[in-house]
Amino acid sequence: MPNNSFIFIDKQSELEKAAEAMAACKVLCVDTEFHRESTYYPEFALLQIYGNGQCWIIDPIKLPDLKPVWDLMGNPDILKVFHAAHQDVEIILKESGNMPLPLFDTQVAAALLGYGQQVGFGNLVQRVTKKLLPKGESFTDWKARPLTPKQLTYAADDVIWLMPVFQHLQERLEATGRTSWLQEEQTRLSDKNTYDNDESEIFWRVKGGSKLKGKHLSALRELAAWRERGAKSRNIPRRRMMADEPLVEIARRDTLSRETMQRMRGINDGFIKRFGAEVTAAWQKGIEASEDTWPKMAPRRHNTRGTDLRLEMLDTLVRLKAEEGEIASAILANKSDLSELASWGYRCKGDTPELACLHGWRYELVGHDLIRLLRGEICLHINPQTGFPEITPITQNSAT
């Protein structure tokens, strides 16, 4: 069982001593506590690390210089373990400039082993170790000082119980030959560029933007980039800079004036006085951009004869493969990808679509058979003895 004790560190000398002990670990379980409700960048409030039976809770508010620990995060000889790593890695990268590599994300590993695509940490701990973690501090104020014993215990549990979960998942990945799958899935997490929002691409995430096209989508691109720069420079949430709804409303206009903006909900006179000229300039840049620079939406595939039936067959095959492999079906192939594949499968001509399920380990597990099913090389049937669906190759004799 894990050691539930921890050392709270808020002095530089204690941090340096702890870093020496951490440097002797081959594996460090890492977690952070932060707030992001009122800022663009996360407000870093606590750092928890566990290794070799010891837990350290580090106070970054009292200790602004965490270089001894940040150096360890960049040590390639120490494996850093996280659960749902993205935001923790984002904080470490921003604070230290180091990517915590190599890393192991237990949420990703769990998805590859049938625990669900985005299983929560408490749920995973309970299923692996039978330990029920308390939830009382889920919405606590981590910036408040002093931290209470309950807060510290809750924070410590997040890394103390991460170790047995990691060990269990690592053993299962090795036993099932899926360790390489994890590395493939973590490629994006391990890429520094993942944590730098591309201003020119952020418009794809604007709610309601998919309704626009052509020059109006071009305007949205420029407006979203303007908002992103403003939110970053002021360290405020995007919605505080400007909400999605008025952003889309402005982008869809063929003409724009101060009076037009005054009639829009979500835009007041103070905003127009301060930012009206900038918004107009961004909108105009997008509207007047040459057609060859307009954002290109992914082409929609026309519904073809039998597409719905093919989609049902493809989905059945995916669920069958997921059950055989004890893996969540959603991580093998999502409905959007299957729908595109079903449409392509009307004639199976031309290059196969660029879909995740047709690459890497997914192709080996299910993608190859999806193509074979569409081409009539295999079939699905019910085994009369078991009552379960099975996959059978179609030979020339069986076809006739």
CA 309 to chain centre: 32
pLDDT band at 400 (very low <50, low <70, confident <90, very high): very low
pLDDT, residue 2, reads 62
**Rg from Cα positions in the chain:** 26
Kindly tell me if the per-residue pLDDT of 398 is higher than 60.
Answer: no
- Strands 54-58, 43-51: parallel, antiparallel or unpaired by DSSP? antiparallel
pLDDT band at 328 (very low <50, low <70, confident <90, very high): confident
Greater model confidence, 355 or 303: 355
Long-range contacts of 328-332 (CB under 8 A, 24+ apart): 328/111, 328/114, 328/115, 328/116, 328/117, 330/117, 331/111, 331/112, 331/117, 332/357, 332/362, 332/365, 332/366
Q: What is the DSSP string of 44-87?
A: EEEEEEEETTEEEEE-TTT----HHHHHHHT-TTSEEEESS-HH
Which domains, and CATH codes, for the chain?
7-194 (3.30.420.10), 202-293 (1.10.150.80), 307-399 (1.10.150.80)
pLDDT digits (tens, 9 = 90+) for 22-38: 999 999 999 999 999 99
pLDDT, residue 4, reads 64
In whole angstroms, what is the distance from residue 109 CA to residue 116 CA? 10
pLDDT, residue 375, reads 92
Percent of the chain with pLDDT over 70: 96
Greater model confidence, 389 or 317: 317
The structure tokens listed for 319 are 């669920």
Per the prediction, the chain carries an average pLDDT of 92
Greater model confidence, 381 or 112: 112
> How many residues are listed for the chain in this entry?
400
> How confident is the model over 90-107, as a mean pLDDT?
96
pLDDT digits (tens, 9 = 90+) for 130-156: 999 988 777 789 999 999 999 999 999
pLDDT, residue 218, reads 98
pLDDT, residue 304, reads 65
State the helix-helix crossing angle for 121-129 and 162-176, rounded to 10 degrees.
Answer: 70
CA 118 to chain centre: 9
Contacts of 116 (CB under 8 A, 6+ apart): 110, 328
pLDDT, residue 307, reads 86
CB atoms within 10 A of CB 307: 19
Alpha helices per DSSP H over 161-268: 162-176, 179-185, 214-234, 238-241, 244-251, 258-262
> How confident is the model over 233-260, as a mean pLDDT?
96
Sign of CA pseudo-dihedral 80, 85, 86, 91: negative
Task: Kindly report which listed range (81-95, 168-182, 277-291, 369-383) carries the lowest average pLDDT score.
Answer: 369-383
Task: Kindly report which listed range (15-24, 104-113, 227-236, 338-347) carries the lowest average pLDDT score.
Answer: 338-347
In whole angstroms, what is the distance from residue 62 CA to residue 96 CA? 16
pLDDT, residue 214, reads 96
Kindly tell me if the per-residue pLDDT of 381 is higher than 50.
Answer: yes
pLDDT, residue 395, reads 72
Phi, psi of 103 (to 5 degrees): -130, 160
Q: Look up residue 297 and give its DSSP letter.
A: P
